[in-house]
Amino acid sequence: MSDALSKLWALSREVRHLQCVCEMLDYDAQREMPPLATAGRGEQSALLSAFVHKKLTGRELGVLLNEAAQMPEAAEFPNAQMLRCLKREYEVNSRVPAKFVMREANLCVKAQYAWEQAKKQNNFADFAPFLDEIFALKREYSTFFDYPHIYDALLNQYENGFSAVQVEEIMAELRSAQRNIIQSALAAQPPQGDVLCGKFSIKRQEKLSRMAAGILGFDRQQGVISTSEHPFTVTCGVHDVRITTKYFPDNLSSLFSTLHETGHALYEQNVAEAWIDTLPGAPQSLVLHESQSRLWENIVGRSPEFSACLFKILQKFFPRHFNQLEFSRFLSSVNQVRPSLIRTEADEATYNMHIMLRYELEVAMLKNELKARDLPAVWREKMQEYLGVTPQNDTEGVLQDVHWACGLVGYFPTYLLGNLASAQIFAAAEKQLPGLHEELKQGETGSLRKFLIQNIYRFGGLYSAPEILQQVCGEPLSAQPYLIYLTNKFCR
């Protein structure tokens, strides 16, 4: 291998290691860090971000990229994919000043803490100034680029190559279609309570989480299951993938939350050994990432087949609660359409509506058509319009998500696009795996996981979402398979 290429791979390893350190700091900040440590953590985060930024903008990288491009091996897999990734990182990062990167990293640590406090105390006013500051920073970020839409530069941080125009086209298609699905589902389903409500020992929930994650294929030799206020998945290092969940004493929502995060974790844990510790080898597409969390949580997790297996396990774990229940009741309850306030608890039919609302608010904030102080009122209006429900306070309204506090503006659409991709990818798996439904009924996830590893996970970030979808499904991202899936599930 040419010298320039191997030096680029080495540099991409260094950057990846440092990114993982940043993730480690964030993981800790969301779990254990004491309150007064926030400012110092912000400085740490800023220093590391600047270090990464320097590596991705340095003259050395520019020279190596030019040198490597001349080599014959530069066109081969995975060199070509690595070069594409580093070239893009070089170009994008070179447009962003180091001082901006440090300011942003520092602000986000502080804003995240402020958000936590504000959410706990239902005190949006204290958080609003941070929100204005974050959106001002994001506005500034988009000026470093020449995209047609103010949202594009931000969206591209999470999903390279997607545009606001594409997102809006898809949303336009979904908006009315999903409204119809919601209405017909609400009309058809019987009124019923939530079978996941009740008293459940935290200790047994923890054990259940470990078991459920294990059934999906989570490897605790290279992973950790822990807790946090807001469940998330994070890669803190090579072979170090952590998922968190939150256990409630009065409901079992931790179960599906664990399935969701395990979906993310499976992607991260199954990147091929050859490039798992490199920047281009790490999963890059948030659409693909979210497709996997949604696939395992919903398409698998709430399917009649896998639910049957889950139900048996629940009967063993919590016999008093589940032994008196019929499976059909369990199945219809975990699939009930229930327009509600909290995005992470939303059912499959209503989930995308939560995303559209957030997207619209983000665009309005970026365009300065909306100020943070006015967000709660607009939030309430839109919730009423989209889902017919109104939050009684900001904690269950505009304060519910951590994303904006972390600086994740432009991220939400990847959830919606990920939903679409999940249905497309699962349909492809069904075609290739004739025994799939029977296996899921037995709690056997091996064939599906193997299919996903083979076609998606092992490549990490080497291929883009459109490339993967073309390879796996033979078509570009489309709303139709997801709408068909929802219709089949909720409108029969």
Q: Is 41 in the site for its own copies (CB under 8 A)?
A: yes
Applying the rule CB under 8 A, the residues between 5 and 24 that interact with its own copies are 13-14, 17-18, 20-21, 24
Beta bridge partners of 241: 223, 235
Q: Using CB under 8 A, pick the residue from 180, 226, 390, 393 that binds its own copies.
A: 226
Nearer residue to its own copies within complex by CB, 44 or 332: 44
Contacts of 297 (CB under 8 A, 6+ apart): 256, 259, 260, 263
CA dist 148 and 233 (Å) reads: 32
Is residue 35 a contact residue for its own copies (CB under 8 A)?
A: yes
Q: Quote the least distance from Cβ 37 to its own copies, whole Å.
A: 3
Q: Binder to its own copies among 47, 172, 202, 274 (CB under 8 A)?
A: 47
Asked whether the beta carbons of 268 and 241 are under 8 A apart, the reply is: yes
Nearer to its own copies among residue 379 and residue 457 (C-beta): 457
- Residue from 3, 43, 169, 273 touching its own copies (CB under 8 A): that is 43
CB of 55 to its own copies, least distance (A): 10
| Contact between 418 and 426 (Cβ < 8 Å) | no
- The CA distance from 159 to 289, in Å, is 10
CB of 151 to its own copies, least distance (A): 33
Among 33, 197, 364, 427, binds its own copies (CB under 8 A): 33
Query: Can you tell me the distance from the alpha carbon of 311 to that of 301, in angstroms, rounded to the nearest whole number?
Result: 11
Q: Judged by CB under 8 A, does residue 474 bind its own copies?
A: no
Q: What is the DSSP string of 183-227?
A: HHHHHHSPP---TTBS---HHHHHHHHHHHHHHHT--GGGEEEEE
Min CB(207)–its own copies separation in Å: 17
The answer to whether the CB of 96 falls within 8 A of the CB of 102 is no
Instruction: Decide whether 37 or 342 has the Cβ nearer to its own copies.
Output: 37
The residues, ordered by sequence, that sit 6+ positions from 417 with a Cβ below 8 Å of its Cβ are 159, 162, 167, 170, 287, 290, 465, 477
In the set 238, 243, 252, 295, which binds its own copies (CB under 8 A)?
Answer: 238
| Rounded Cα distance, 69 and 81, in Å | 12
Residue with Cβ nearer its own copies (3 or 28): 28
- For residues 129 and 95, the answer to whether their CB atoms sit within 8 Å is no
Among the listed ranges 239-247, 291-299, 358-366, 429-437, the one in contact with its own copies (CB under 8 A) is: 239-247
Q: Which residues contact 99 (CB under 8 A, 6 or more apart)?
A: none
Q: Which is nearer to its own copies, 277 or 290 (CB)?
A: 277
Alpha helices in 30-97 (DSSP H): 38-57, 59-69, 79-95
Q: Among residues 3, 32, 250, 385, which is the contact residue for its own copies, using CB under 8 A?
A: 32
Helix, strand and coil percent figures for the chain, each rounded to 5: 65, 5, 30
CB of 450 to its own copies, least distance (A): 20
Which residues have a Cβ under 8 Å from the Cβ of 24 and sit 6 or more positions away?
234, 236, 237
| Alpha carbon 95 to chain centroid, angstroms | 26
Residue in 380, 412, 372, 373 with CA at minimum distance from that of residue 396: 380
The nearest distance, CB 141 to its own copies, in angstroms, is 24
**Quick check: is 168 catalytic?**
no
Report in angstroms how near the CB of residue 335 gets to its own copies at its nearest.
34
| Three-class SS state of 56 | helix
What is the footprint of its own copies within residues 253-292 (CB under 8 A)?
A: 277
Closest distance of CB 51 from its own copies, Å: 6
Task: List the beta bridge partners of residue 244.
Answer: 226
Catalytic residue among 116, 159, 261, 362: 261
- Among positions 105, 108, 212, 236, the unique one binding its own copies when judged by CB under 8 A: 236
The site that binds its own copies (CB under 8 A) totals a number of residues, namely 36
In terms of CB distance, is 71 or 272 closer to its own copies?
Answer: 272
Q: Per-residue x/- mask for its own copies, residues 182 to 221, rule CB under 8 A?
A: --------------------------------------xx
Which of 95, 139, 239, 441 lies at the binding interface for its own copies (CB under 8 A)? 239
The catalytic residue positions are 261
Binding site for its own copies (CB under 8 A): 13-14, 17-18, 20-21, 24-25, 28, 32-37, 39-41, 43-44, 47-48, 51, 220-224, 226, 236-240, 242, 277
